[in-house]
Amino acid sequence: MIDQGLNWVTVRRPQSESTHREHGGYGVTPIRTCVGCRRRASVGELLRIVAEDGRLVVDTRRRLPGRGAWLHPDLECLSKAERRRAFPRALRVLGALDASGMRHDVKRLAESCTDSGSSRVQSETRKQVDPS
């Protein structure tokens, strides 16, 4: 186009809320899918599960290396995931994984979530920064 003394105007297309969320909108938490019930939820409502030496481990700090699978802190979701054999698929591991040790952790976390009335699995702990 030829500029004939006209002012150029930048036109922005309106973004839908979902587009804004997908591209890292401010204050939006990541969304993951539970391998048990296949419902989507924020990472604060789900447990991260990793495979370690042929067994499933709850990654409470979300820092263990490797692929993670996400699960609601609910024994029903755990049972569905085990019945569907979702953990080996989600974690891309060959063979069966031992979930007996993790079952106790999920049960304990499920009880703590219902006792406190909070849906948060892990409360966010951030370092306090001195503003001065």
Give the pLDDT confidence score for residue 124 in this predicted structure. Answer: 47
* Helices and strands in the chain: count of H runs, count of E runs: 4, 5
Quote the mean pLDDT of the chain.
81
Counting as low any pLDDT under 50, the low residues of the chain are 122-125
Give the pLDDT confidence score for residue 111 in this predicted structure. Answer: 85
47, 109 Cβ separation under 8 angstroms = yes
Give the pLDDT confidence score for residue 95 in this predicted structure. Answer: 87
Residue entry with tokens 């591991």: 93
Give the pLDDT confidence score for residue 109 in this predicted structure. Answer: 85
Give the pLDDT confidence score for residue 128 in this predicted structure. Answer: 65
Q: What is the CA radius of gyration of the chain?
A: 21
Give the pLDDT confidence score for residue 86 in this predicted structure. Answer: 95
